[in-house]
Structure 1
Amino acid sequence: MAEEIYVSTDIEADGPIPGPHSMLSFASAAFRADKTLLGSFEANLTLLPGAEGNPQTMAWWATQPEAWAACRTNLRDPTEAMSAYVAWLKLLPGKPVFVAYPAAYDFMFVYWYLIRFAGESPFSHSALDIKSYAMAALGTEYRQSTKRNMPKRWFDNLPHTHVALDDAIGQGALFCNMLAEQSSRQR
């Protein structure tokens, strides 16, 4: 059986759903369970034709000028970027598992863009949600399983900048730390 590779992914968008709104950027950091970083992929995307930013989302972006500038440079066409992403995923030394916080939001955009622009998803139809994993690990209710309620030992000293690659690496390390702790408990 192929090793699972945890592909921690973060996206930045200009609205709550793909189609009417665009994924501005995304990044993935591929980790082995032991927190070995195998590589990363990132892309800033051109806007979808006819799509426009959601007013509330754009108001939030106005408070994040550095992150906004970072996701609006070196723009790539979604067809080219998503095809390159699929090729990158297929070169990983195992089966890619999509991991995110929150997975429902990030996966919705990535899956939609993969199917629309590359015609396939190497992740199939599934994503692993870090918050749900924390709920099980901590034995808490879902809404109590927020980052502020997670043990500090789960976090590496990594920035959360709303730049997709920074956030993908940070949440990937978080997930691997959680995974290691759960694995040690089961021994």
Structure 2
Amino acid sequence: MKLRKLVTITDEVLVEMGQPVAPPTRRAAAIAVIANPFAGRFEADLSVLTDIGAALGELLTQRAVAALGIAPEAVESYGKAAIVGEAGEIEHAAAILHPKLGAPMRAVLGGGAALVPSAKKRGGMGGVIDVPLGHRNAAYVRSHFDAMAVTIADAPRADEILVAVVVTDSGRPLARVGGLSKTEIVGQDGLR
């Protein structure tokens, strides 16, 4: 993996619609900008990218958790996303995000029964991607359906891929649309 840049962003919501958010809603994104080894050409075997995904799953999750200053097991939501530069293809992002990135994330966090929500797209420098979020143990916890917008001014270049992992220590600020609460999670099937 040729890593050009690492960026960490934290977001803390203290007030929403004039109402205090206590405790504050906190999210952290850890982002890597890497060279795309297949930029400008078709490659049938994308295993190089799947292995990069495994390495980034561990690295970025560790950095995001550290940015929040919490124990890994205190993470409530997670998500992942990638933007492929114009000389790449969407499948390059899929190769990084799907086969191997999730297991190292869960290992860092000490588990996670739910699928890791993801997004991918092609874009240029300064492109924005909304990293979808969901509760790490139960997909039906509506209070944790959220997203964090991620952008880096100089990435991805045409021959690069921007990869982001986001973790939170809570759900949305002032969530109140019902559904399964986090206190009702069983956490066995990833849904409830």
Please indicate, yes or no, whether the TM-score normalized by the shorter chain is above 0.5.
no
State TM-score, norm by structure 2. Answer: 0.29
Higher helix share: 1
Return the structure number with greater strand share: 2
TM-score by length of 1: 0.30
